[in-house]
């Protein structure tokens, strides 16, 4: 069974979505992220992927108050990312109610800090963020190409004990044309002990079923829900029955 994790991305306290990570191509979907989180919880979603896009751009957490409100008003397990670059950032995220924290840029720029966090907080809390464009890791809100190969990046941290990786194919993100099946299959075939969380490109329940068939157990879905190409009823049915498609 695959678990659908809805995404809420925050800019200036509002629920938005970007296309291919471009801040100039943003759509505001709701002024109240708390209301959106409640709607997801009401249809059986137990996990939430919350991204501070202002924080990603500013290189420090900005929308911690939104995290705190959602955490205090829902019972969802929250994975928080965006702008987690310092000890203060990860402390604030956890104190404000995050159950897990995703960090990517710091793992490239300050690997010793990331490794220390892995020891201090454990691999059940710290998730490795692997945002990729043309198989190279992108950092700092997807604006900078690190030049680091994704397989090398994941492999190095797998050796250090990372057990959870969120991989987002930037070129597919927000396009609704399908996820990076071949890339994800390569990752899970190479690192079969990792929990790979797929992100980017999902536009239909068929896409989710395709991910499930290659062994993906968790998928983050954002724009497809907000645009209605994946309906709330379909999400609810998946949560209740574990079935992606009507004929399965």
How far, in Å, CA of 219 to CA of 132, rounded?
Answer: 16
Q: In this predicted structure, what is the pLDDT of residue 189?
A: 97
Can you give the pLDDT at residue 18?
Answer: 81
Which of 9, 79, 89, 173 is catalytic? The answer is 9
pLDDT at 248 over 70: no
173 is known as an active-site residue: no
Q: Average pLDDT for residues 221-230, to the nearest whole number?
A: 95
Structural contact between residues 225 and 203, judged by C-beta atoms closer than 8 angstroms: no
Segment 185-223, tens digit of pLDDT: 999 999 999 999 999 999 999 999 999 999 999 999 999
pLDDT digits (tens, 9 = 90+) for 59-95: 999 999 999 999 999 999 999 999 999 999 999 999 9
What percent of the chain lies above the pLDDT cut of 90?
A: 84
The CATH number of 3-241, from 3.40.50.1820, 3.40.50.2300, 3.20.20.70, 2.60.40.1930, is: 3.20.20.70
Q: What is the pLDDT of residue 20?
A: 76
Mean pLDDT of 2-24: 90
Q: Up-side HSE of residue 42: CA atoms within 13 Å toward CB?
A: 8
Question: Distance of alpha carbon 79 from its chain centroid, rounded?
Answer: 7
Question: What mean pLDDT is reported for the chain?
Answer: 94
pLDDT of residue 144: 78
What digits encode the pLDDT tens for the residues 116-151? 999 999 999 999 999 999 999 998 767 778 899 999
Does the pLDDT at position 247 exceed 70? Answer: no
Query: What pLDDT score does 23 carry?
Result: 83
- Select which of 54, 131, 169, 173 is catalytic: 131
Residue 87 annotated among the catalytic residues of the structure: no
pLDDT value of residue 145 = 82
Question: Who's near 119: CB < 8 A, 6+ residues apart?
Answer: none
Rounded percentage of the chain residues whose pLDDT exceeds 70: 98
Tell me the domain boundaries of the chain: 3-241
The candidate with the shortest Cα–Cα distance to 170, out of 159, 179, 157, 161, is: 179
Q: What is the DSSP string of 28-42?
A: EEES-HHHHHHHHHH
């Amino acid at each position: 069974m695959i678990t659908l994790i809805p995404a809420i991305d925050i800019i200036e306290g509002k629920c938005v979505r970007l296309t291919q990570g471009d801040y100039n191509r943003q759509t505001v979907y709701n002024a109240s992220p708390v209301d959106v989180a409640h709607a997801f919880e009401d249809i059986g979603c137990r996990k939430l992927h919350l991204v501070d896009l202002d924080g990603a751009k500013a290189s420090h957490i900005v929308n911690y108050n939104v995290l705190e409100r959602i955490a205090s008003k829902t019972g969802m397990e929250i994975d928080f990312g965006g702008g987690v670059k310092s000890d203060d950032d990860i402390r604030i995220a956890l104190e404000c109610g995050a159950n897990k924290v995703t960090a990517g840029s710091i793992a490239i720029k300050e690997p010793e800090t990331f490794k220390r966090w892995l020891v201090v907080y454990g691999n059940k809390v710290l998730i490795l963020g692997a945002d990729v464009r043309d198989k190279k890791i992108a950092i700092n809100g997807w604006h900078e190409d690190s030049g680091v190969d994704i397989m090398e990046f994941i492999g190095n941290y797998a050796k250090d004990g990372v057990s959870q990786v969120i991989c987002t194919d930037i070129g597919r993100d927000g396009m609704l044309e399908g996820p990076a099946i071949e890339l994800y299959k390569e990752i899970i075939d190479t690192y079969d002990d990792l929990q790979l969380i797929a992100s980017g490109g999902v536009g239909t329940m068929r896409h989710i079923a395709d991910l499930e068939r290659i062994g993906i157990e968790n998928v983050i879905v954002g724009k497809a829900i907000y645009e209605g190409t994946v309906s709330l009823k379909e999400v609810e049915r998946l949560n209740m029955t574990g079935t992606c498609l009507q004929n399965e």
